[in-house]
A and B are shown apart, each in its own frame.
Chain A
Amino acid sequence: MIVMKTNAKILTKKDVSKAAWRYIFFAQSVQNFERMMGQAFCFVLIPALDKLYKNKPEEHKKALERHMQFFNTEPQLGAIIPGITLAMEEARATGEDISEELIVSTKNALMGPFAGIGDSMLIGTYSPILLSIAMSMCINDGNPMGPIFFCVVWLTSMVGLQYYLFHKGYNAGIGAADTFFKNKELTNKITTGLNVMGLIVIGGVASTTVKAKTIFEFVSGDMSIVLQTKVFDAIMPALIPLVITLLTWYAMDKKGWSANKIILAILAFSGVMVVFGIM
């Protein structure tokens, strides 16, 4: 474990905050298939690098070059990585024994795990939970508070998180990643907890969003039975949509159907049902 001497500081807190804001605004701004977030990463560090390597033009060039390389992670949770990198660059600039390879390999080693956790935790769970709650507020009556609720909660929590993580990464330096991975148990607990909560909430919202009902009636002499109210609703409200949702999930997850194939299947099913007057 590298112990970084903290006595030599070139960057002020303002410099670090500036880099954090540059990251929050520009992280994905040049995204492309070849480097993904690579150029943006360099852009984020530039003012700090200019300051750190002011009198060392050769070092400055090399620093620019090494941060132009490929970089890709989940941008929000990944905010900790440029923070860590900044601390390492500062340590290198003040003469500590930190090699170029170490800086590059640290970036490369961190981007995968943070992409995985960030995608599943933030984009795959936290955002759908917020969206679900917001959708339930507005899907029936068009209440604008639904989207506004989503915007306020999402924006404040995510911008706050990124700002915090960036500074955390800078302050702890290379140790930050260590703390993160040593706390794997806590990370697992948070992920699992969010996952369970998400499944319940999303189940609730799905029940009000997916809709399907039959208009079929049994007519026999004078007697007619409305299938929807007398049979399906009597068993359980929203029964048909539940069966459709579960079948869709089964086909996608267990049978490996692509989304396009399922779209076609649903369109075909709806078509048949409409033509025969069942739905």
Chain B
Amino acid sequence: MSLIQALLIGVFAYLGSKRTPWFFGVTGGWNMIGRPLVAGLIVGIILGDVTTGVIAGAMVQALFIGQITPGGAMPADVNWAAYIGIPLAIAAGGSGEQAVALAVPLSMLGLGIFNFIMTINAYFPHRSDKYAEQGNSKGIIKMTYAAAVPSFVLRFGSAAVICYLGAPVTEVLLNNMPAMLLHFFEVAGKMLPAIGFAMLLKQSLTQTWMIAFFLMGWVLIGSTTMSVTALAIFATAIALMFVMAKGNAPAATNTIVQGDDDCYED
């Protein structure tokens, strides 16, 4: 990996991090550029192997498909998994399975960076409090812009440096690995995405019997030649039928709403 490539990956790692405002804020950054699926395409273009990049991106994405971060409590740092795991795997001549195998430990280590930024960023509101007391809007605006600095330094810096220094090491490791160990990473890398789906199921299943919907999708794609787009249309129809059938039953509504209303009355 050349220095320029590593620097470019670092820039996109920053653009895909949580606090980046540049591209439609959290919508275009963290929730889009930061997704391993999109990172795979970007890294693939930078490293000159789009096909491998996209496949690796999709496989790493599966690992994190169920991740929601309520209140900023992050179970794993997707950013390092995406912008360090995928490039290292590609640069070393590996594929999706190697990217997944690298993504797992990296996502745990990356949490340190995430929590560090979350902590030091409290400096900016403290400075802004003083400006607010003076009625100094410009000061608050300046502090908001300044908050981009630690994010940029840490996100860009960590990804660029680790990619640049880590690529030759990973290459040597992968090329000298015993065949059995390589095979182990391949087997584990293909199985690990089960965790992403399990996490998603845990959140989505309001009642356990609803696992039947999941099984239905599994069987339709696994055992027939149906495409996922066709499945999505089919699933929409099922969802409508389900909601309509349920909606006709007499429902107990508005019990919570009445209580909430009091807050707004004066």
Given known pairs A31-B118, A270-B187, the reply for A208 and B221 (CB within 8 Å) is: yes
Cβ–Cβ contact A210 & B137, under 8 A: no
Q: Which of B49-81 contact A (CB under 8 A)?
A: 50-55, 57-59, 61-62, 65-66, 68-72, 75-76
Cβ–Cβ contact A245 & B198, under 8 A: yes
Q: Which of A29, A137, A194, A237 is packed against the most chain B CB atoms within 10 Å?
A: A29
Cβ–Cβ contact B195 & A135, under 8 A: no
Taking CB atoms, residues of chain B closer than 8 Å to A57 are 135
Cβ–Cβ contact B32 & A151, under 8 A: yes
Query: B251: nearest residue on chain A (CB-CB)?
Result: A185
Taking CB atoms, residues of chain A closer than 8 Å to B177 are none
Chain A count of residues within 8 A CB distance of the other chain: 128
Cβ–Cβ contact A195 & B204, under 8 A: yes
Query: B39: nearest residue on chain A (CB-CB)?
Result: A147
In the complex, what's the smallest C-beta–C-beta distance from A71 to chain B, in angstroms? Answer: 11
Taking CB atoms, residues of chain A closer than 8 Å to B134 are 61
In the complex, what's the smallest C-beta–C-beta distance from A87 to chain B, in angstroms? Answer: 13
Give Cα A75–Cα B212 distance, bound, in whole angstroms.
32
Cβ–Cβ contact A28 & B18, under 8 A: yes
Given known pairs A24-B27, A210-B190, A270-B187, the reply for A40 and B213 (CB within 8 Å) is: no
Cβ–Cβ contact B201 & A253, under 8 A: yes
Taking CB atoms, residues of chain A closer than 8 Å to B227 are 136
Taking CB atoms, residues of chain B closer than 8 Å to A249 are 197-198, 201-202, 211
Interface residue SS majority, chain B: helix
In the complex, what's the smallest C-beta–C-beta distance from B266 to chain A, in angstroms? Answer: 6
Query: B121: nearest residue on chain A (CB-CB)?
Result: A32
Q: Which of A201-225 contact B (CB under 8 A)?
A: 201-212
Taking CB atoms, residues of chain B closer than 8 Å to A140 are 55
Cβ–Cβ contact B27 & A155, under 8 A: yes
Q: Which of A205, A206, A251 is packed against the most chain B CB atoms within 10 Å?
A: A206
Q: Which of A142-186 contact B (CB under 8 A)?
A: 142-144, 146-148, 150-151, 154-155, 158-159, 162, 174, 177-178, 181-182, 184-185
Given known pairs A32-B125, A253-B201, A262-B198, the reply for A142 and B191 (CB within 8 Å) is: no
Give Cα A28–Cα B75 distance, bound, in whole angstroms.
18
Query: B29: nearest residue on chain A (CB-CB)?
Result: A28
A95 within 8 A of B: no
B41 within 8 A of A: yes
Stretch in B1-9, B138-146, B158-166, B167-175 with 4+ CB within 8 Å of A:
B138-146
Cβ–Cβ contact B253 & A185, under 8 A: yes
Given known pairs A34-B125, A124-B204, A133-B229, the reply for A26 and B218 (CB within 8 Å) is: no
B92 within 8 A of A: no
Give Cα A181–Cα B253 distance, bound, in whole angstroms.
11
Cβ–Cβ contact A142 & B55, under 8 A: yes
A114 within 8 A of B: no
Taking CB atoms, residues of chain A closer than 8 Å to B235 are 196-198, 200-201
Cβ–Cβ contact B140 & A46, under 8 A: yes
Cβ–Cβ contact A29 & B37, under 8 A: no
Taking CB atoms, residues of chain B closer than 8 Å to A28 are 18-19, 25-26, 30
Given known pairs A49-B137, A142-B53, A274-B183, the reply for A29 and B198 (CB within 8 Å) is: no
Taking CB atoms, residues of chain A closer than 8 Å to B229 are 133, 136
Given known pairs A119-B68, A197-B238, the reply for A236 and B223 (CB within 8 Å) is: yes
Given known pairs A30-B125, A40-B144, A138-B54, the reply for A244 and B194 (CB within 8 Å) is: yes
In the complex, what's the smallest C-beta–C-beta distance from B96 to chain A, in angstroms? Answer: 8
B176 within 8 A of A: no
Cβ–Cβ contact A263 & B192, under 8 A: yes
Q: Which of A42, A151, A208, A251 is packed against the most chain B CB atoms within 10 Å?
A: A42
Binding site for B on A (CB under 8 A): 1-2, 23-36, 38-40, 42-43, 46, 49-50, 57, 60-61, 64-65, 68, 72, 75-76, 97, 99, 102, 105-106, 109, 113, 115, 119-120, 123-125, 127-129, 131-144, 146-148, 150-151, 154-155, 158-159, 162, 174, 177-178, 181-182, 184-185, 189, 192-212, 236-238, 241-242, 244-246, 248-249, 251-253, 259-260, 262-263, 266-267, 269-271, 273-275, 279
Q: List 3 A-B pairs, minimum CB-CB distance, nearest first.
A: A203-B217, A142-B51, A32-B121
